[in-house]
Amino acid sequence: MNTKKKALGRGLSALLENSGVEDISPQFRKNGGSIVAGAIANIPVDKIEPNPYQPRTHFDEESLKELAQSIKEHGIIQPITVRLMDDGKMQLISGERRLKASIAAGLELIPAYVRTASDHAALEMALVENIQRKDLNAIEISLSFQRLIDECDLTQEELSERVGKNRSTITNYLRLLKLPATIQMGIQEGKISMGHARAIINISNIDTQLAIFKDIIEQDLSVRQTEDIVRNIDEEPYSLKTEKIHAPTLPLKYQKIKEQAGKFLGLKVDIKRNDKGKGTLIVHFRSDSDLDYFLSVIKK
């Protein structure tokens, strides 16, 4: 028996010890694929249909490779969840990332909880299970919340109970879906944070929203700086204003320190400072040798 199968077997046995759920993998193989709900089984990966309700729209390729390598070495620790369809087919409810990584790792079987569920229940289970994960971006979470409300006919209060989040949190996520598509994409790609987006959404003019979004990226504005811009802006399109509101100008004293430090190190130096004297000192380096040189200087 090879290492992969041993790892998979150990993980499955450990899960079954105190689960009260029967491992019916032998029956599955013996009966040519016949399976019952309410059990854990090693399911052929090519027999599992994708989840049409999957809220995740992006899977990080590097992260998948790392998970695939871990699965090769240790097997599957947490089974995926599938539902048994009326026609005997299996449809994924949760665990698409684990399934993708298992296929990449060359596994032919994957441990799965087998459940029966209506389309409505499967949607709710898939969305709620995914919302609990930490690696969904804010827009994916917002879309999941909206689907639960629309397709499962839930109020925001009922949704709050289902996902264990405050109603105000849900409201803040749902508001993000009112932003222009360009800004929503920026959130998904990590160009701006949810904090930036929550500030921008308080501006009703779309051109203004897009102009501020552009400046956040180009000027690396913080959430606080963005909030200050929004707080002081009127409803004239931001891109057409004769004088934009930018981050506080660095006092002359600190501009000189920045220049002197840059000349001394032979590296680009930036200083970001707010009106209260709090900020960051940034030293840019182009190579490992630059970094080594900088470390040697500060150790003297």
Long-range contacts of 216-223 (CB under 8 A, 24+ apart): 216/191, 216/192, 217/186, 217/191, 217/192, 219/246, 219/247, 221/196, 221/247, 222/247, 223/193, 223/195, 223/196, 223/199
Q: Is the pLDDT of residue 290 over 60?
A: yes
Structural domains in the chain?
Answer: 3-117 (3.90.1530.30), 138-240 (1.10.10.2830), 252-299 (no CATH)
| Catalytically active residues, by annotation | 96
pLDDT at site 62? 84
Query: Rounded to 10 degrees, what is the CA torsion of 54, 145, 38, 108?
Result: 20
Which of 5-14, 50-59, 74-83, 166-175 has the lowest average pLDDT? 5-14
pLDDT at 16: 35
Q: Summarize pLDDT for 189-207 with one digit per residue, the tens.
A: 889 999 999 999 999 888 8
Token representation of residue 119: 């389309």
For 216-270, what is each residue's pLDDT tens digit?
Answer: 998 889 999 999 888 887 655 565 444 444 555 677 777 778 888 877 777 788 8
CA 20 – CA 38 distance, rounded (Å): 10
Q: What integer pLDDT is reported at residue 210 of this predicted model?
A: 92
Most confident of 142-146, 151-155, 173-177, 233-237: 173-177
Nearest-10 crossing angle of helices 167-175, 156-163: 110
Compute the mean pLDDT over every residue in the chain, rounded to the nearest whole number: 76
Task: Write down the pLDDT at residue 200.
Answer: 94
Mean pLDDT across 112-116? 82
> Is the pLDDT confidence value at 29 over 80?
no
For residue 149, which phi and psi values (nearest 5 degrees)?
A: -70, -45
For range 55-64, the mean pLDDT: 72
Could you tell me the sign of the dihedral formed by the alpha carbons of 65, 69, 75, 78, in that order?
negative
pTM for the model = 0.50
pLDDT of 121 over the 80 cut? no
Distances (CA, A) of 69 to 13, 64, 79, 132: 21, 9, 17, 24
